[in-house]
Structures are given as structure tokens and as C-alpha cells.
A and B are shown apart, each in its own frame.
Chain A
Amino acid sequence: MTNRRDFLKGFLAGGTALATATAAEPVCARESHERPPEALGLLYDATLCVGCKACVAACKQANDLPPEFNTVDHLWDTPLDTTAYTFNIIKMYRNGTMEAKDQEENGYSFMKVSCMHCADPSCVSACPVQAMTKNPETGVVGYDADRCIGCRYCVAACPFGIPKFQYDSPTGKIGKCELCRHRTKDGHYSACAEVCPTGATLYGKTSDLLVEAKRRLALKAGTPYKVPRGKLGGPDQSYEGVAGNYLQHVYGETEYGGTQVLKLSGVNFQKVGMPDLPPHAAAALSETIQHTLYGNLVLPFAVLGAMTWAAKRNVAPGDDETKESDHG
């Protein structure tokens, strides 16, 4: 009888440990990972975007992706959202008479949708087989189909809805922007930034892009300034432009622990389709809980020890046997 009581105590203690381990987490989850110092990314400035979609076409070409049709005549590529075959699109916000750009009421705006290359990506944390990885130097979130098992946990995990799966193929893959990492060896960079005629999409080191973004936010609307195009710190392709009427918010600076793609807009970010995210990554909480419970397998082995001790006492030899058991 004492054994059982001792065991019950042990079991309750274990349960309490599990409860406290999990309950205490929100306050002591690990810090979100930071961007690597040389992290690469994009700066998208909605006030510079004219909605020409040259970036959408260039992305398709650079990644060898098929067109997607959403009109009856099937004449040209008309994706409505990012898919496993469309890694980048320009979405439009419209309100009322749409008389002015970058204005919430009676205005319109554009928004680029593609992978944000998070500092602490949920897709990388979720992927069971390391098919989704974050490059330690560039911070680019890449995908390796040869490793992928097609479980789609990354699709479910991403708060931006970026990794997408080819459900229509018997050998489907995940499709997402990899910042044209396959083109850097030829001296190229992200195709969307390369072709952007207005510099709305700018490629570069995220730390530089953040400085550039803050520089623009500090300008009064209408102030002339030099607008860089293509690659920040690359060959000078700049032109004289005027500062937009910005919201004082660099989207991606802190969202979900920070992203390597940053965005500026004149219209509320939620209105143009970007999610309202907390400043810490979900992966931080999920990984902390998992590693608290399973770190070095201490807790599992402790429980196993207790279970073995109890089972050894309670499983009588021949207990389960049909012949001899039930005379004892």
C-alpha cells in the first residue's frame, strides 16, 4: 500500500513538473534568434511601387515557374495569391473612389507578398527533416526538395502563409522565395529587385536596408531625396524622387522577432494584408517547451525509471498467463 502511495506522489510530482514547465514558459521562453550580421533581404517601399508587376514576371522567369490562369481566356499569367508556382506577387488595396495613392480612405496602395526570411523562422523550426533551413551567413531561408517528406508542417507553421505545396502533383514540392540564392554565383541577386524600375523593391544587407528605411521615415512627405534602385551598395542606379507619406513603422523590424525583408507603407499594414504579429517568434516558445521536456532526455528517463520500478513490482511472474495466473 505504501508503495502505491509513494508512486502516486511521484506521479503527481511529475505531473506538476510538466505543468510548471509548460505554464512557466511564456515568461521564460528563449529569446527569438537575431538576424545574422550579414543577413540579406529586401526593402519594399509601397509608396514607390507603381504596380507594374515586372517583379512578378521576373520571379517566374528566374525560378522557371509556369504561368497560372485565373481569367477565361488563359492569355497571360494571372496569379491571385502566392502559390507553389508563384513565389512573389503584387497585391492591391483599394478603397472608395481610389483618388489618391497611399491613402487609406478613398485611396489605393500596392503590397508585395513573398517570403519575409524571418530571423527565427517557424517553417525551419517546424520542418522535421531539415528540408527548410536558414543559411547561417546570409540568413536566407532555403528549401531542399530532396530532403522534404511533404508533411506540410511548414505551410501550417508560417504566419505569413508563404511556403506552399503542389497538391496537384504526385511528386509535389514546396514552393517559396529563396531570395534567388541560386543566382548569386553568377553575380546576380533577387530578380524582383533587379528589374524593379522605381526602386520600390531594393536588395541588400538587411542592416543597410533598415538604415535606408529609417532615413526615408525621417523625411517629411514630399521632400526630394535620392532613391536607390537594384542593389543597395551596388552600382549607382539612383534617381531623384520625393519622400512618400509614410506610416512611422518599418514592418519586419521587430515582427515575429524580426524579418530580413522590410516594408514601408502609407496605408495601415493590416489593411494591405500583412498580419499583426507579436515581437517574438512562435518557434521560441515551442522550442523552449520541447527542450524543457526533452532536454537530454532527462525527464523521459526519470519517468521511465519510475514506471519500470512500479511495473516490476506489479507485474507478477506469469501474471498474464492463461494457465497458471489466477490461482495467486
Chain B
Amino acid sequence: MAEHALPAPVGGKFINAVTLSCLVLIAVCVPISFVRYFYGLAAVTNLNDGYPFGIWVVLDVVIGSAFACGGFSVAMLVYIFNKGEYHPLVRPALLGSLFGYTLAGAGVLYDLGRWWNFWHIFWPGYMNFNSVMVEVAVCISLYIVVMWIEFSPTFLEAFGMAERRRKLNKVMFAFIALGTLLPMMHQSSLGSMLLVMGIQIHPLWNTAMLPLLYLLTAITMGYAVVLFESCLSASSYRRKIETHLLTPLAKIMLGFLAVYLAVRIVDLVLRGALGSAFALSLEAVMFWLETACFVLPFFLIGKEAKRRNPANLFLAGITLMLGGALLRINGYLIGYETGGNFNYFPSIWEIIGTAAMFSIEVLGYIYITRRFPVLPREA
């Protein structure tokens, strides 16, 4: 194992401008929840039969869980590809993933029209194994449990439970293996979910390769989120940026990104769908925007010297997160057309709801990194 700093609590005050704004957003969500649960989805959302999935599904679950792939991507690097040098990145990445997934899972209860029946999706007598959604639901739920177990050493250390910590450590490899398999399964399935919609999905996003495309982007987005989180927490906690880790990590990210772009382009060409990218349509514009976000990182951090610049790493991370988000928004919303005169733009309450969900993540991340050993101790 390479020599690296041990995780330690950051300490400091919890209440500041950022956490206060998060708390306000969460507070606004309380009355929204009341209206939603007493008057139905239409009272707070702009959902309709042409767009039955809104941002509470696409942003909170489909994109939210992909943003939460940092833990998966880094753990795969460290424990599967045996790149021990990235070890200090595991805990912070896992923490972000933990919140991302837990909230994506809990957020579904907000969107389900008949939420009191939600357990049917886990009940063998009800489950339909032809439904891709079953795979996604079961897999994400299992993964949430696995991640809490993977992260639990942090709490066990803080509470001085060394014996239990040691016991857990003996079997940790099994949870790590499961924690690598499960995201591969549901992240690819989130792409497969579109296939049953058939011709309603625009040709630019309608391919049997969707599972592979969603999996590859989820992995790259995982690394992008780590770049983003590391830069952000370094600057807000006034810590040293871990450039020695982020620079080589960014190179690995570009590797996965190159594979993704190759698959994406070859698929578009082979299916003869590339032509529709040159039409004068919203879909074509969004496609180029999405593609630009996936290509831009090569210009931002393609050269080793540029990869040493934290500002470039941060920007490349954001661009790639945006690209992955656009791929999903384009598939699920922009490129989805069911016929008839339906329009959808999220209501202010939907936007606040989604913002509040991300706020809970930010709050949780700040609280836990300040109180528990997550980030490496500063020398």
C-alpha cells in the first residue's frame, strides 16, 4: 500500500451560508409535500399523460443515481483494479454516493402515484420480471444497503467499536464485490428502461446499445463527480487539493470517455441515425450540446500539463456531469414523443423539490465530513 494520510474529521462549525440555504430549501418542501399528498401530483407538478415521467424521475433518480456513481467508480479502481494509491478518495466518494442513492430511493415515494403500494415491487407474487423497472428498483435498494455497510467503518471508528470493525473487515471484500456488480446492473438498466417505449424515443437515443451507453457514462460521471467534489471540498474547507491523485484519475476518466464516444458514434453510424442530428430540430440541438459536453473534457484536460491544473479538472468534471445528465434528459424527456399536444416544463414546486433533495445531500456530506473521519487528515 502506498503511504497516504489517514481519514480524520474536518471539524468546524456546521451552520454557514451554504448550509442555511439548504435548510431553507428543505423547509419549503414541507408544505409542498402536504399539497402533493393531499391533492395529488397535479397540484404541484406539471406532469401529464404525454410526459408521465418528470424531473422527479429523470433528475432525482436517473441522473441523481448516475451522479452518485463516484463510490462505485473509485472502489472499482482501488479494489478491483488494485490501484491502492487512490485509497484516500474512496471514503469521500462513497459518502457522496451514499446520499445520492439513498435520496434517489426515498425520492421515488414522492413521485409514485400509489405510494402505499410501493412494496409490491419487492414482493415475488407481484413482481414482473419482464419489467426493466423491477431490476432497477431491486438493484438500487440492495445497493443502498450494501453502501451503508461499506461506509459503516467510518461510524464504527468514530464510536470506538474496534472489535466489530475488525470483524466486518474480514468480509468487507464480499460487500465491495457486490457494490461493484450492482451499479453495473441498474445503471445499464436505466438505459434499457427506454427500450419498451419503442418508436416514441427519437432515433438519436433509441438503440439496443442503451444499456452499455448508460453504464459507460455512469462510470465516467462517477470519476467526474470525484473531481468536482474534491475540488469543491478542498476550496470550501480550505484544504490542499489532491492533485497528485486527481491528475492520474482524470486520465483514467478520459480513457472510459473515449470508449464511450467510440461506441456512441459507431452505433449512430451503423444504425443510420446520424442524419437526424443534422435536422433543424430541438432534438438535434440537444444532441450536439450533449456531444459537446462529452468532447470538451479532451480539450480541457487532454494534455498532462492541463490535467495538473485544478481549475481545468473542476471544469472538465462539471462538463462531463452535464454531458451525462443531458444524455439522460434527452432520452427520457426531449427525445420522448408520444404524439398529441403535450408539453412539459417542470413547475417551480418540482424544481424546488429537486433542489431540496440535492440540498439534503450537500448537508449530509458537510455534516458527516466535519464530524466523522472521511477526508484525509491535513498534514
Contact = CB atoms under 8 A, between A and B. Distances in A.
B132 A290 contact: yes
A164 B338 CA distance: 12
A319 B114 CA distance: 45
A159 B336 CA distance: 11
Given A148-B114, A152-B52, A170 B38 contact: yes
Contacts of A278: 198-199
In the complex, which range does the number of interface residues on chain A fall in? 35 or more
Interface in A139-195: 145-153, 155-159, 161, 164-173
B170 A317 contact: yes
B113 to A, nearest CB: 2
Contacts of A318: 166, 169
Interface string B179-192: 01100110011001
Contact of A129 (B4, B121, B199): B121
A19 B121 CA distance: 28
B340 A81 contact: yes
Given A130-B127, A326-B3, A326-B6, A122 B196 contact: yes
Interface in B100-157: 111-115, 117-118, 120-121, 123, 126-128, 130-135, 137, 153, 157
Contacts of A239: none
A303 B82 CA distance: 17
A51 to B, nearest CB: 20
Contacts of A72: none
B263 interface: yes
B370 interface: no
Interface stretch (A34-42, A100-108, A217-225, A305-313): A305-313
A262 to B, nearest CB: 20
A287 interface: yes
B131 A325 contact: no
Interface stretch (A22-30, A52-60, A206-214): A22-30
Of the four ranges (under 10, 10 to 19, 20 to 34, 35 or more), the interface on chain B belongs to 35 or more
Interface stretch (B40-48, B303-311, B314-322, B354-362): B40-48
Contacts of B185: 294, 300
B166 A155 contact: no
Contact of A172 (B4, B113, B132): B113
A146 B120 CA distance: 10
Given A161-B49, A307-B180, A129 B126 contact: yes
Contact of B82 (A146, A293, A313): A313
Contacts of B199: 159, 275, 277-278, 282
Nearest to A80: B341
Of A128, A171, A256, which is in contact with the most chain B CB atoms at under 10 Å from its CB? Answer: A128
A55 to B, nearest CB: 20
A153 B131 contact: yes
Contacts of A18: 188, 211-212, 215
B49 A83 contact: yes
6 contacts: A7-B80, A130-B127, A146-B117, A168-B40, A168-B43, A307-B180
B49 A314 contact: no
A322 B181 CA distance: 27
A317 B340 CA distance: 60
A266 to B, nearest CB: 21
Nearest to B153: A320
Contacts of A4: 81-82
Interface of A: 3-4, 7-8, 11, 15, 18-19, 22-23, 25-26, 81, 83-84, 122, 125-130, 145-153, 155-159, 161, 164-173, 256, 273, 275, 277-278, 281-283, 285-287, 289-291, 293-294, 300, 303-304, 307-308, 310-322, 325-326, 328
Contact of B112 (A151, A155, A311): A151
Given A122-B196, A290-B135, A311 B208 contact: no
A319 B1 contact: yes
B157 A126 contact: no
Contact of A325 (B6, B39, B80): B6
A165 B132 contact: no
B37 interface: yes
B285 interface: no
Given A15-B212, A307-B80, 15 more contacts: A18-B212, A128-B127, A149-B112, A149-B113, A150-B113, A153-B52, A167-B40, A167-B41, A167-B42, A167-B45, A289-B208, A290-B135, A311-B79, A317-B170, A319-B169
